[in-house]
Amino acid sequence: MNTVIDGDLFDVIVVGTGIAGAVVAKQLGLAGRRVLLIEAGEAIPHGRAAHLERFYLDTHKYPEAPYPVNPNAQSATVADLIEKDASPSYLDQSPRDNYTSFGSTYERRAGGTMWHWMGTCLRLLPSDFHLKTLYGRGVDWPIEYDDLGLKVRSDGLSYYDRAEREIGVSANKADQWYNAAAAPFRADYQFPNPGIPLSRVDQFFRDGVQGMTFEGYPVSVIPTPAGRNSRPYDGRRVCAGNTNCVPICPIEAKYDPTVTLHKAFNTGNVSALFQHVATKLILDEAKRRVTGVEYISYSDATKVSPSGRGIARAKQYVVAAHGIETPKLLLLSGCKNRNIGLNLMDHPFYLKWGLAPRPVFPYRGPLSTAGLDGLRDGQFRRDRSAFRIEIGNDGWNLGASDPTSTLLDFIEGNNKSKTNESRESLFGGNLVTRLNDIYTRQCRIGFELEQIPSETNRVTLSNSKDALGIPRPKITYSLSDYEKRALGAADRLTSALFAKLGIADKTSYELVMGAGHIIGTYRMGNDASTSVVTKEQRSHEFDNLYLLGSGVFPTSGTGNPSLTIAALAFWAADTIHDELR
Amino acid sequence: MIESENETFLVLSSALCGVSVDSFVAATPPKFPVPGDLNPHNTPIDRNSEFIRTLREQVGTSAVTSLLERFGHERQTAASDTVAQNLLRDPEQGPICRSIMKMWFLGVWFACDRPYDAHHVISAQAYKDALVWKVMQSHPMGYSEWTFGYWADDPPPLETFLTVIDK
Mean residue pLDDT of chain B comes to: 87
Of A408, A432, A440, the CB nearest to B18: A432
From A187-191, A268-272, B37-41, B162-166, the region with the lowest mean pLDDT: B37-41
Of A59, A200, A230, the CB nearest to B120: A59
Domain A2-403+443-580 has what CATH class?
alpha beta
- Residues on chain B touching A228 (C-beta within 8 angstroms): none
Q: Is the dihedral of CA A30, A34, A40, A43 positive or negative?
A: positive
Q: Pairing between strand A35-38 and A12-15?
A: parallel
Question: What ipTM describes this predicted complex?
Answer: 0.95
Return the pLDDT at B153: 97
Return the pLDDT at B25: 60
Return the pLDDT at A94: 85
Q: What's the start-to-end Cα distance of chain A, in Å?
A: 35
Grouping H, G, I as helix, E, B as strand and the rest as coil, residue A14 is: strand
Q: Write the CB contacts of A50 (distance below 8 Å, at least 6 apart in sequence).
A: none
Cα dihedral A299, A304, A307, A313 in deg (nearest 10): 90
Return the pLDDT at B12: 95
Q: Taking a contact as any Cβ pair under 8 Å apart, which residues of chain A between 186 and 225 contact chain B?
A: 197-200, 203
Return the pLDDT at A87: 62
CA distance A9 to A406: 59
Cα–Cα distances (Å) from B125 to A44, A506, B128, in that order, read 26, 32, 5
- Residues on chain A touching B154 (C-beta within 8 angstroms): 200, 359, 361
- For residues A35 and A28, is the Cβ–Cβ distance under 8 A? yes
How does pLDDT run across A486-512, given as a tens digit for each residue? Answer: 999 999 999 999 999 999 999 999 999
- DSSP result, A106-173: ---STTGGGGG---B-PPPPGGGGBHHHHHS-S-B-SS-HHHHHT---TTS--HHHHHHHHHT-B--H
Q: Which residues of chain A have pLDDT under 70?
A: 1, 84-87
Q: How far does B24 lie from chain A, in Å, by closest CA?
A: 13
Q: Which residue of A has its CA nearest to B128?
A: A56
Asked if A243 lies within 8 A of B139 by C-beta distance, the reply is yes
Q: Which residue of B has its CA nearest to A237?
A: B148
Of A200, A242, A431, the CB nearest to B142: A242
Return the pLDDT at B29: 44
Of A238, A363, A408, the CB nearest to B148: A238
Return the pLDDT at B37: 39
Q: Write the CB contacts of A375 (distance below 8 Å, at least 6 apart in sequence).
A: A214, A217, A219, A386, A387, A388, A389, A493
Return the pLDDT at A8: 85
Interface size A-B, in CB pairs within 8 Å, comes to: 167
Asked if A365 lies within 8 A of B98 by C-beta distance, the reply is no
Global pTM value: 0.96
B55 touches chain A (CB under 8 A): no
Of A243, A244, A412, the CB nearest to B115: A412
Q: Taking a contact as any Cβ pair under 8 Å apart, which residues of chain B between 58 and 97 contact chain A?
A: 81, 84-85, 88, 97
Q: How far does A374 lie from chain B, in Å, by closest CA?
A: 22
Q: Pairing between strand A504-505 and A289-298?
A: unpaired
Residue type at position A42 = E
Q: How far does A428 lie from chain B, in Å, by closest CA?
A: 3
